[in-house]
Amino acid sequence: ENWSVELAEQDWLSDTEDGDADDLAQRYDKIKHAVPSDVRKIIEPAFKKIQIDEQMQGRSEEMLVDRLEWILNMPWGVFTADTENFNGVKKSLNDDHFGLEKVKQRIYEYLAVRKLNPSGKSPILCFVGPPGVGKTSLGKSIARALGRKFVRISLGGLHDEAEIRGHRHTYIGAFPGKIIEGIREAGSMNPVFMLDEIEKVGQDWKGDPGSALIEALDPEQNHSFQDNYLRISFDLSQVFFITTANTIDTLRPALRDRMEIVEIPGYIPQEKLQIAKRHLISKQKEANGFPALHAGRTFDLSFCDDAILKMIYDYTDEAGVRNLDRTLSEVFRKTAQNILSGNLPAKDIVEITEQNIHNYCGRTTFSESTLPQGPLSPGVVPVLSVSSSGTGHILFVEVSIGYHPGGRKIVVYGVDASGEQINLGNEIKQSVKIAWDALTSRNCILFDVVRKFEQEVGPMLVSVSLTNLSIAKSGPSAGVPIFLALFGALTEESIRPTSETPLLAATGEITKKMDIISKVGGIREKILAAHRKGIRRVIIPKDNEFDIEDIPKEILEGDERIEIIPESSMLNALRLAYPENTLIKKYVEKKISQKEL
């Protein structure tokens, strides 16, 4: 048996020497002019070794032939020309994606630079945003707009360095890394190469894939990328690398430094509405067989804007549009079932409205409570919040004052949670403590108020509660509304004493010196949520003033416009919230006399 296996191996070797070696040599002669000189110096001796070295037998020759096959199959000298028609690129990107102007602008800038310097290096972009905002599909659109080939690999859960850099060719079953495989699959030296979920790359005893990615994504190194299997320097400088991530918090600094971060924060409801009308509805029509021909009639669906907005607000809670797409699909499936079960619609065009959407989607899932229309009780202030999905919400902080026989006590409700929400709860409790100290410490505005209460009544019980427990709380950005609510509860004054008083909401982090410090995230989403709920005055940190540029103009203009007030002082915020309060006026006069204002 061993003799027969050895004989078969010798027959295969003779075939390889006469056939494969000559075939590889002929193929090499055809592409030799496009192969870099340093690569030729490596592969030409390999050909001679196969043809001359009679001692090479069995597996050694097979591995060498496989390696040469891979090298010759690489697209040496094959480049696709970038589209130079700016208007064509703009039209292609706008047809595929609504909004995302910053990302599109970056592509236009790249084309302009490419036009002036054709030999320049391709950019390395990192799209960062929540799931479902279109990061992957945007990469495909960029490749289509530029006229390049597109390759995508997923890095989620990758732990083996060899998956990126390739295996040593001496191992049985060795093969190149995913980057080399992708280049060969594209058939071009300058494809758009997408590395999905780069923040999920791990490491273990098999190596560190992140370190291998640094070489591939570093413009100063990737012109000579080393793959362990090919053992040659491969030029990746013309590859347009695009990476995606849900967050950059877990991305190693060295890797993040190699990339240009482009944030995609998510779509606002008005953008989701346009995406549904321009893309999702037509997609679901095709997927579900509409217009549907049945019983001699042609049925189709028509969605009014209010119905789509109700799906967005009441049936989904996301930064992207995946769940909205599923909700639209549910409407089409329900309609198809009705048609085939004999429950034919009265009209050929089935109109989906805000009033009948529940017949197709059932009860609402994320319905928000409406804001109170009348006066607010003292100690109640709206809070601008953004959920973990990137959607803006309106919460309420409620503060009440009472007597506690065991000594002064401050209790915070609505923030106790497990897992990732523990830190948020601790941050809110810290904001309550900072607000209390800023208001009631010696020489502060409410020091005498608290002292008088405890002299006449006894130790004070301060209860702080955040409503709507189903929504993740905002952490330190709830500091300003907590501060305003504490002041209202201690002075028994309402932020909205009458129904005619415009409702004021706030967001921002505070200090004991009564400063509103640092910028907070999600300003655009928070402002849109406030406008949607009828709030017309909002206090934001001064450092977030530049974020106003990202808010749609229709929100800032017209009869229903919202007034955005950037502030850096909590004292000014108090004057805005309680303009008739005498304590505030006396405190301001005192500070002016002391030349502190």
Which residues does the annotation mark as catalytic? 477, 526
Task: Decide: residue 14, CB within 10 A, 0-12 exposed, 13-18 middle, 19+ buried.
Answer: exposed
From the list 78, 39, 41, the residue with the least C-alpha distance to 227 is 39
Give CA–CA dist 61/47, Å, rounded.
Answer: 11
Contacts of 194 (CB under 8 A, 6+ apart): 136, 139, 150, 151, 152, 153, 241, 242, 243, 244
8 Å CB contact between 178 and 136 = no
From the list 259, 158, 263, 250, the residue with the least C-alpha distance to 217 is 259
From the list 369, 367, 371, the residue with the least C-alpha distance to 382 is 371
DSSP class of 558:
S
Give CA–CA dist 372/312, Å, rounded.
Answer: 22
Give CA–CA dist 505/529, Å, rounded.
Answer: 11
Give CA–CA dist 262/133, Å, rounded.
Answer: 13
Give CA–CA dist 178/200, Å, rounded.
Answer: 16
**CA angle at residue 459 from 458 to 464, to 5 degrees?**
130
Give CA–CA dist 527/423, Å, rounded.
Answer: 25
- Could you give the dihedral angle defined by the CA atoms of residues 351, 357, 358 and 359, in that order, rounded to the nearest 10 degrees? 20
From the list 172, 163, 177, 176, the residue with the least C-alpha distance to 206 is 163
Give CA–CA dist 513/479, Å, rounded.
Answer: 13
Q: Which two tokens stand for residue 287?
A: 């997927």
**CA angle at residue 67 from 64 to 73, to 5 degrees?**
140
From the list 55, 61, 59, 54, the residue with the least C-alpha distance to 21 is 61
Give CA–CA dist 392/505, Å, rounded.
Answer: 13
Give CA–CA dist 125/106, Å, rounded.
Answer: 9
Distance of CA 514 to the CA centre of its chain: 33
Give CA–CA dist 524/551, Å, rounded.
Answer: 6
8 Å CB contact between 217 and 241 = yes
From the list 190, 182, 256, the residue with the least C-alpha distance to 217 is 256
Q: Give strand pairing partners of 393.
A: 385
From the list 384, 389, 425, 429, the residue with the least C-alpha distance to 411 is 429
Residue with tokens 């482009």: 262
From the list 403, 351, 399, the residue with the least C-alpha distance to 495 is 399
Give CA–CA dist 452/460, Å, rounded.
Answer: 11
Q: Which two tokens stand for residue 574?
A: 């108090």
